[in-house]
Structure 1
Amino acid sequence: MPKPLILGYLGVLLFMIGDGVEAGFIAPYMADHGASTDVRAGYVITVYGIAVMLASWFSGALCQVWGPRRVMWTGLAIWAVFDAAYLLFALGTENYPLMLLFYGIRGFGYPLFAFGFLVWITNTAPKARLGTAVGWFYFAFTGGLPTLGSLWSSLTIPSFGRLGTLWSALALILLGGAIALVGARRRPGGDRMAPPEVTTGQSLLNSVSIIWTHPRVLVGCLVRVINTAPEFGMLVYLPRIFSDDIGFGEDKWLQLLAIIYGTNIFFNLIFGVLSDRIGWRTTIAGFGALGCAISVTTLYFVPTWLGADYYWVAVLAGMFYGATLAGFVPISALIPSMAPENKGGSMALLNLGAGGAAFVGPALASLFFPSSARAESP
């Protein structure tokens, strides 16, 4: 871990805990409070995913001309303002159009904050330790979303209810943002990265032109979409399936979600260090791609077949998925190394892949909700 950025890592962890508080229950909660159906709730999350996708792309390009520090401040402000508007005027009044508007705009917040910090890391960490530094970032990122966020909600919902828990998330966001940005305010690497003559528009164009100047970066972007789409898609449909259809209940589902990503955060560190030794590509292809192909299938089908009496099997399947998902961690070290003269552009495209998964996953889940409902109806 780069020592000058320790408070930044801590701040990102707290910020992402706040962002992850809602992960295990927001889709069914919106369905019951204004969205009317799981499908319409899925549409809200899909709009949110589009915003995440765009902000993820903007984060790398904007870091070039604004600097990571300013990009992070912008993300924090967007999240805080539009989350308050969402809770007060959308969920509070069960207004579906305002859910689409405010929740959607809020989606620009966390990618600017979190991925802005990731660019900061890649801008300062030595190449020989970059895989480890990125592993620590995903330890903080996944430690919050959805690991400790889900655990937090499982503890606070019985006392404060779901709406009160959502308000507590805003407090965590503000605390994490303050620690990261105030604590790292004088640290190197947080200022403008591009030459003075480069404009914001040119930086955004550079993040697109890298597609044909370095086509392998585009491949990395597509891999990033594919590897993370199941993570976001399952947060739309698995809450109903695991809580209601299988019969685990909401408490056990939230605990399972925390276990999945609790496993993931430790393997983020393991694969970050291991990848610096055995190679970034080897780790991604073997542990990430092949491992996830097996584990994501196991996570859905095995608990569905065995039922509520075999919760421990679901836990093992979840731990397997969380571990293999960490195999993709080195991609954030590999892709910038393919275009060392344009790290901001390569990170912009890579972050676009991460954000694209937040759109593709919920969109696919929403697409298949109607057909699955018809198949299950008598």
Structure 2
Amino acid sequence: MWNKIGLPRNLLWGYIGLAIFMLGDGVEQAWISPYLVERGMSIENASLLLTVYGIAVAVSAWLSGIFVQTMGPRKAMVYGLIAFIIGSLGFIGLGVYELNLAVMLPFYALRGLGYPLFAYSFLIWINYSSPLERRGAAVGWFWFMFSLGLSVLGPFYSSLTIPVIGHVNTLWSSLIFVFVGAFLAIYTNKDKVPSNEIHPFTLSEFMKGVTILKQKEISLGLIVKTINGLAQYGLAVFMPIYLMGFGYSTTEWLQMWSTVFTVAIFANLFFGYVGDRFGWRNTIQWVGGVGYAIVLVMIYFTPQVIGHNYLVMTIVLSLCGITMAGFVPLSALFPLLSPENKGAAMSILNLGAGLSTFLAPAIAGLFFSSLGAGGVLFIYAGFYILSAILTPFLKTPDELQKDNQKSLRMDNVRAK
């Protein structure tokens, strides 16, 4: 039954563990910035904290492919768990109570090193262990579980616990989910990656995570993947502040943001299947690129027109959940852009995901004060149009070879 719906049975416990782990990681995603600002931290310092966190995520995401290719996904996920736990203990226990930025920055960065090493190592595991003809659906299930934990259950759990035990105790309680999810994904999950996919660690193997960028398709794919997450990680920084001006409360924002990702998790599955059937690039270009740009413009103008209308605003924001899922097939396409170096290719994919968490709050921090929410949203929309322009160039070596052969035949015909 599991294989029929595109969920690899051999990785079932890994998927379940991923969702629970990401619930623990996601409890603060939708409220940490406004919470710190309300307690007296400046918007610039809050953005700096999230930017440093994003840099750590980007570095960890990039290293995850190299770690998996040289030590296997299970060990890489253990290192991710350790980094997350140590970072959380320092960030919550030593930094948050006194809003000590000097302490918060390094420990939140260490926490940021943890989750990509855990989650994206499992994504690479899926690409090694799932059949090619159903890989779009398999990675769709990854993003389903990832988003279910990070952006649906995490914020929803926070909306229930913050009024009862407060923000800081909610952060402490998240560690329970992290431990349980890691146990299921690392130890209960018994799947093994083929031994020929794991290479000895060498300098040349490590450098593949850099030198592979010489391949044009990989470099363009990095840009597309980075754009993919801009709105997801950027809206949480400034949209609560923007919507407060129209009478929306923090609780309403948390519930709307949770609804966005409730829609997204089902859209992830849907567009995984759509990509397998109608083309991965078509789905990325039109749904993820063009569609997302249109939705971001709508998000800015909707409260300007309707004011405080929770239902309508929720519906419009939920369109983000549909269009972000248009990028799901990119996770299946990317390793095929360099089939001889899947681990290195996935490192670049993961690097793009990490760069999103760095660039999104950085753009918000740089332009929100001067251009407002509208300026930031239009900047994001422009980037999504750019991703739509670049996507048709993401071709596999086999496709490029066929294109070259076709071009040669046409040249020969013209010569005659």
TM-score of the superposed pair, with normalisation by structure 1: 0.94
Other-structure match for 1:361: 360
Instruction: Verify: 1:152 aligned to 2:154, yes or no.
Output: no
SS of residue matched to 1:108: helix
Other-structure match for 1:13: 19
Other-structure match for 2:105: 100
Structure with larger RCO (C-alpha < 8 A, sep 6+)? 1
1:202 to 196, 204, 221: 204
- Residue identity matched to 2:347: A
Contact conserved, 1:33 with 1:91, CA < 8 A, in 2? no
Contact conserved, 1:48 with 1:103, CA < 8 A, in 2? yes
Other-structure match for 1:74: 79
Contact conserved, 1:67 with 1:190, CA < 8 A, in 2? no
Contact conserved, 2:90 with 2:104, CA < 8 A, in 1? no
CA shift for structure 1 position 364:
0.5
- Residue identity matched to 1:105: L
Alignment of 1:291-310 (within 5 A): 291-308=291-308, 310=309
Any idea what the Cα deviations from partners look like across 1:32-69, whole Å, max 9, x if unmatched? Answer: 446x2112111000000000011010001111101111
User: What is the rounded CA distance, in whole Å, between the counterparts of 1:263 and 1:8 in structure 2?
Assistant: 22
- Residue identity matched to 1:27: S
Alpha carbons of structure 1 residues 340 and 251: separation in structure 2 relative to 1, 3 Å: same
SS of residue matched to 2:99: coil
User: What is the rounded CA distance, in whole Å, between the counterparts of 1:37 and 1:150 in structure 2?
Assistant: 23
Query: Identity across aligned pairs (percent)?
Result: 40
1:65 to 47, 54, 70: 70
User: What is the rounded CA distance, in whole Å, between the counterparts of 2:56 and 2:327 in structure 1?
Assistant: 23
Alpha carbons of structure 1 residues 191 and 161: separation in structure 2 relative to 1, 3 Å: farther
Q: Which runs of 5+ in 1 are unaligned?
A: none
Over the aligned positions, Cα root-mean-square deviation in angstroms equals 1.7
User: What is the rounded CA distance, in whole Å, between the counterparts of 1:277 and 1:237 in structure 2?
Assistant: 37
CA shift for structure 1 position 100:
1.1
Contact conserved, 1:280 with 1:330, CA < 8 A, in 2? yes
Other-structure match for 2:193: 189
Contact conserved, 1:154 with 1:254, CA < 8 A, in 2? yes
Any idea what the Cα deviations from partners look like across 1:145-195, whole Å, max 9, x if unmatched? Answer: 2111111101111111111111111211111111111111x3111868333
Contact conserved, 2:28 with 2:158, CA < 8 A, in 1? yes
Alignment of 1:167-186 (within 5 A): 167-184=172-189, 186=190
CA shift for structure 1 position 320:
1.0
Equivalent residue pairs, number: 368
Alpha carbons of structure 1 residues 163 and 190: separation in structure 2 relative to 1, 3 Å: farther
- Residue identity matched to 1:163: V
Contact conserved, 1:27 with 1:41, CA < 8 A, in 2? yes
Other-structure match for 2:256: 256
Other-structure match for 1:322: 321
Instruction: Verify: 1:267 aligned to 2:267, yes or no.
Output: yes
Alignment of 1:274-293 (within 5 A): 274-293=274-293
Other-structure match for 1:111: 116
CA shift for structure 1 position 204:
2.5
Task: Determine which structure has more spread, i.e. the larger CA radius of gyration.
Answer: 2
CA shift for structure 1 position 305:
3.3
Runs of 4+ in 1 over 3 A off after TM superposition: none
Other-structure match for 2:129: 124
Contact conserved, 1:16 with 1:173, CA < 8 A, in 2? yes
Any idea what the Cα deviations from partners look like across 1:114-166, whole Å, max 9, x if unmatched? Answer: 00000000011111011000000000011112111111101111111111111
User: What is the rounded CA distance, in whole Å, between the counterparts of 2:23 and 2:195 in structure 1?
Assistant: 26
Other-structure match for 1:228: 229
User: What is the rounded CA distance, in whole Å, between the counterparts of 1:353 and 1:129 in structure 2?
Assistant: 23
Alpha carbons of structure 1 residues 370 and 318: separation in structure 2 relative to 1, 3 Å: closer
Other-structure match for 1:352: 351
- Residue identity matched to 1:50: I
User: What is the rounded CA distance, in whole Å, between the counterparts of 2:195 and 2:253 in structure 1?
Assistant: 42
Any idea what the Cα deviations from partners look like across 1:186-211, whole Å, max 9, x if unmatched? Answer: 31118683333x42x33321111111
TM-score of the superposed pair, with normalisation by structure 2: 0.85
Any idea what the Cα deviations from partners look like across 1:194-246, whole Å, max 9, x if unmatched? Answer: 333x42x333211111111x31011111001112112111111112222x212
Instruction: Verify: 1:216 aligned to 2:233, yes or no.
Output: no
Contact conserved, 1:299 with 1:321, CA < 8 A, in 2? no
CA shift for structure 1 position 70:
0.7
Contact conserved, 1:120 with 1:190, CA < 8 A, in 2? no
Instruction: Verify: 1:161 aligned to 2:160, yes or no.
Output: no
Q: Which runs of 5+ in 2 are unaligned?
A: 1-6, 375-416
User: What is the rounded CA distance, in whole Å, between the counterparts of 1:131 and 1:93 in structure 2?
Assistant: 46
User: What is the rounded CA distance, in whole Å, between the counterparts of 2:291 and 2:170 in structure 1?
Assistant: 34
User: What is the rounded CA distance, in whole Å, between the counterparts of 2:86 and 2:321 in structure 1?
Assistant: 32
